[in-house]
Amino acid sequence: MPESPGPADRVRRSNLYRVSAALDAVWTDVNGFACPARYGDAADEADAARGLAIADLTALPRAGYKGWDMAGWATAQGLDLGEPNEARAQADGVLACRLAAGEVLLLAGDDAGSGTIDRLAAAWTVDGATCYPAPRSDANAHIGVVGERAPETMAKLCAIDLRPHRFANRRIAQTSVARMNAIVVRNDRGRTYALDVLVDSAAVVYMWECLTDAMAEYGGRVVGLEALATLAGGATERGGA
């Protein structure tokens, strides 16, 4: 991935950017953010991530819609919706996470591809609306918790049984993590177990500290976007700043 200027030069900044900068992040341009691409050797990070790692994915595009007929409108826009607490990947890699009968969360893939997100945003109008945009991009921060020891790590913070044989890929848990509301989506990267954890963006530094503390026992480390792309089976191309 091309390197890009640092986050302090951007209008949009993850609340974790100082943490990443302190770890000597190499930045890449994602969705107007400077996103940590890697902290050291990307291949090493990918290897580590198979065991346990966390990544700041806040820069990745996301959106939400909520309302009494969200399903009717979203389906009419061609969105493939699952049942509540089920996520389904769209053709462009966007994950449609259905949080309730009337609420959906859209997560771009690690390549930041946001075709579905952009298409729905363009289609939505307030006039005659039966559902409304939820500002997920700023309401939430996004942390990837990756690797085979992620369930054990999460078990120190969360009461839900997230082990792979109990919590299937693309399942969603809306729960409490370290006493904060969180949306936890199992979203494996390739054959590597992975969770997307979305928390209140104002509390992301606290959550990051909790995860860092919890994973220390298992040798977890912080990785960048490139490591996740490697696990998913291919590097991603993205323009620099």
Per CB under 8 A, the list member of 43, 76, 80, 166 interacting with another protein is 166
Comparing CB distances to another protein, the nearer of 201 and 236 is 201
For another protein, the binding residue among 23, 24, 43, 68 (CB under 8 A) is: 68
Among 76, 123, 202, 235, binds another protein (CB under 8 A): 202
Query: Should residue 13 be labelled a site residue for another protein when binding is judged by CB under 8 A?
Result: yes
Tokens describing residue 109: 């893939």
Residue 123: CB minimum distance to another protein, A: 17
**Residue 140 in the binding site for another protein (CB under 8 A):** yes
Buried b (16+ CB within 10 A) or exposed e, 196-225: bbbbebebbeebbebbeebbeeeebbbbbb
C-alpha distances out from residue 206 to 15, 66, 85, 133, 212, Å: 11, 27, 25, 27, 10
Whether 105 and 60 have beta carbons less than 8 Å apart is answered as no
Site for another protein in 97-126 (CB under 8 A): 102, 126
Query: Would you tell me which residues interact with another protein (CB under 8 A)?
Result: 10-15, 18, 33, 58, 66-68, 102, 126, 129, 131-132, 134-140, 152, 155-159, 161, 163, 166, 178-180, 200-203, 205-206, 210, 213-214
